Chains A and B, each alone.
Chain A
Amino acid sequence: MQNPYEPYPVRIDEVTDATEDKSLKTFRFVFENPEDEEKFSYRAGQFAELSVTGLGEIPIGIASSPTEKGFVMFTVFRVGKVTSYLHNMTAGDLMGIRGPLGNCYPWDLLEGKNIVIIGGGFAFTTLRSSIVYMLDPANRPKFKDIHVIYGARNPGLLLYRDELYDWEQRDDIHMHITVDGTDDPDWKYNTGFVPTITEQKAPAADKDTYAIVCGPPIMIKFTLPVLETLGYPHDQIIMSLENRMKCGIGMCGRCNIGKELVCKDGPVFTLAQLNHTPREY
């Protein structure tokens, strides 16, 4: 068995500003050894530990989709030690990633279902992965209706803007892009908080309809009651959690919510599952 703490060497292939305020950057990595890319076979919803020698490691959701080959992509918010350093790295630099880690969205269960994706702020990374995965021509027939409700404070803070606007043009996905507010007179999409837009646009609850919700705590707090009012049962509301992490493989003991470890048993849980935990996240 290989050393689960040893990252695969990767080169930064491209760094782009993900938001206009530059607080988020998107990194594309290419594996130094092509066979490592095969070993890093992942599903949408999983995460990886990005390793910067001398600074440490950070758990980051995988933003690329398993259907995109030749690279892996992550979008990183500048917060502290490792993320700030990473923001100053450039194409060509060598670093490491280890994973894929954690569980994924329950794709086997989601096949044949209507999917409602609800995201806010920069917690849209693994949701992007999921959308790209589902829209892949080989996968699209496996899902019924797809709705996406995604909001940020203003248009410049929406992640993957070009893709959002492209998806908006398609007829096999219902996009509901929103911002809290904007002074752009040409803004063509919604204005309003994610919970409000959810109330207006989310499809009615149904035994075949599953919601995937990721966002800042305040958004989650006000969105869950809306879904409940719409009649979504708790085992059809899927969430992805964050906790401080180190090992990412269930050994260092810090990321637990009760007996579940967010890094290994999660990060994806249904609300029904979370109801049985102390919810220390």
Chain B
Amino acid sequence: MEMIKIDKKDWNKGLDRSRKTYRLVGPVKRAGEDLAGFYELADKEHPDMGAADTVLSAKSVVYPQTEVMFRYTTDKNSPDCNRLKRPAADYSPRAVIGIRPYDAAAILMLKKNFDTPDYRDPYWCDAYEACTFVGLAVDAPSSTDFSTSTGSGPFSEKGLDVLLVDMAGHYLAKVLTDKGAAYMKAAGWQRAADAKAAAQQIEKKKKAAEALIVSSVSFDKIARKSILDLYKADFWDDVAFSCINCGTCTYVCPTCWCFDIQDESKGKTGVRYKNWDSCMYPLFSLHGSGHNPRGTKTMRARQRFMHKLKYFLDKYDDGIMCVGCGRCVRSCPVNIDIRRVCELMNRYGPDPDACAV
């Protein structure tokens, strides 16, 4: 694994050089927003590497909130009448600069959903393949960060092509994949660092950052409880009591992937869109007959937590569908906290580890 040293004075120059082959995406403030989100950078724009975490995750880079799937005409005089056409989109290489390690780990979870042995979502997969993820290690985790207990962490390399570590005057760049190496080359950052010394410095910073994370979740017992026992647990009304089903938690979440498909016509032309959706909304599961299998807010809140902390765990046997970024905890208007719900679920019922007396 290659270690490269990037002097901060070469930072913007390198980014600009890489624009010849890459479109750049990074955290920036946009008008009307109090905190940075991930956007495609304009020509002379550079990512805000000092920004605190973004309100919305970086998932929109591969999975936009609204995306055109097809265009169509309903004009009977056109030979293309009622035929859906996927419009050409720009899938040229894009580099995602400054993505947080937990957001990159989350993108690998989305991949489980969108890139399967049976079907591939071409919109998601094409965008994903176009991306090189140049992550920034988190030195000062927020008070709601619990990523270390979810299999990610402030210095996690999962899903990244390059991990940058901020060393004040320079970055140490740990090049993790061929895609990452190609980006470093395009940016002209090629000065090798003393690998051993760099690894030690990174390890030290990593330990320090991890030590700053004060909260955690345990889900070690959830896998051995039955879906039905957890589903019927007595705490769901209490958990959902103050929830207003606003859906914020699902929108800010890097691992929530549910979507809706809608047609929108203007005159005789139109678009079939894919839009983020939320299990917190009654319409999500409403049948045409008026029947709704998840007709109450308790059922919807339970669906969100059961999906993340139980169904996903059982289906993939690869941890929970949460990277511990803490965004939903920070953004929920009524302070519903997934850490508490996870704890309730983990502790519910007889302890599978307890010795029989």
Chain A residues proximal to chain B, CB less than 8 Å: 1, 3-7, 9, 51, 53-57, 79-80, 83, 93-96, 217, 242-244, 246-247, 249-259, 264, 276-278, 280-281
Q: Which of A53, A217, A243, A246 contacts B260 (CB 8 A)?
A: A246
> Do the beta carbons of A243 and B311 come within 8 Å of each other?
no
Chain B contacts with A in 254-283, Cβ cutoff 8 A: 257-263, 265, 270, 272, 277, 279
| Minimum CB distance partner of B287 in chain A | A244
Q: Is B227 an interface residue (CB 8 A)?
A: yes
> Do the beta carbons of A79 and B227 come within 8 Å of each other?
no
Instruction: Kindly provide the distance from the CB of A58 to the nearest chain B CB, expressed in whole angstroms.
Output: 8
> Do the beta carbons of B84 and A51 come within 8 Å of each other?
yes
Distance of A249 Cα from B286 Cα, bound (Å): 19
Distance of A281 Cα from B303 Cα, bound (Å): 13
> Do the beta carbons of A251 and B113 come within 8 Å of each other?
yes
> Do the beta carbons of A243 and B287 come within 8 Å of each other?
yes
Instruction: Kindly provide the distance from the CB of A276 to the nearest chain B CB, expressed in whole angstroms.
Output: 7
Q: Which of B83, B122, B285, B299 contacts A243 (CB 8 A)?
A: B285
Output the residue of A249, A250, A253, A255 with the most chain B CB within 10 A.
A253
Taking A4-B119, A53-B72, A281-B293 as contacts, is the C-beta distance between A254 and B287 under 8 angstroms?
Answer: no
Taking A79-B289, A258-B227, A281-B293 as contacts, is the C-beta distance between A57 and B119 under 8 angstroms?
Answer: no
Output the residue of A4, A243, A256 with the most chain B CB within 10 A.
A256
> Do the beta carbons of B86 and A53 come within 8 Å of each other?
no
Chain A residues, Cβ within 8 Å of B228: 276-278
Output the residue of A6, A9, A93 with the most chain B CB within 10 A.
A6
> Do the beta carbons of B285 and A54 come within 8 Å of each other?
no
Q: Is B44 an interface residue (CB 8 A)?
A: no
Chain A residues, Cβ within 8 Å of B272: 53
> Do the beta carbons of B289 and A5 come within 8 Å of each other?
no
Interface CB pairs A-B, < 8 A, 14: A5-B261, A53-B72, A53-B74, A53-B84, A53-B270, A56-B261, A80-B288, A94-B83, A244-B284, A244-B288, A246-B259, A250-B119, A258-B311, A276-B226
| Minimum CB distance partner of A275 in chain B | B228
Chain B residues, Cβ within 8 Å of A244: 284-288
> Do the beta carbons of A258 and B113 come within 8 Å of each other?
no
Chain B residues, Cβ within 8 Å of A9: 82-83
Q: Is B318 an interface residue (CB 8 A)?
A: no
Sample of 13 further A-B pairs with CB below 8 A, known A6-B84, A246-B259, A278-B227: A5-B121, A6-B70, A54-B270, A56-B261, A56-B263, A243-B287, A244-B284, A252-B260, A254-B277, A254-B284, A258-B227, A259-B311, A280-B285
| Minimum CB distance partner of B71 in chain A | A53
Q: Which of B74, B258, B265, B303 contacts A252 (CB 8 A)?
A: B258
Distance of A196 Cα from B69 Cα, bound (Å): 49
Q: Which of A5, A54, A253 contacts B279 (CB 8 A)?
A: A253
> Do the beta carbons of A95 and B288 come within 8 Å of each other?
no
Output the residue of A243, A255, A278 with the most chain B CB within 10 A.
A278
Taking A94-B83, A254-B279, A256-B311 as contacts, is the C-beta distance between A54 and B74 under 8 angstroms?
Answer: yes
Distance of A43 Cα from B84 Cα, bound (Å): 26
Distance of A64 Cα from B351 Cα, bound (Å): 52
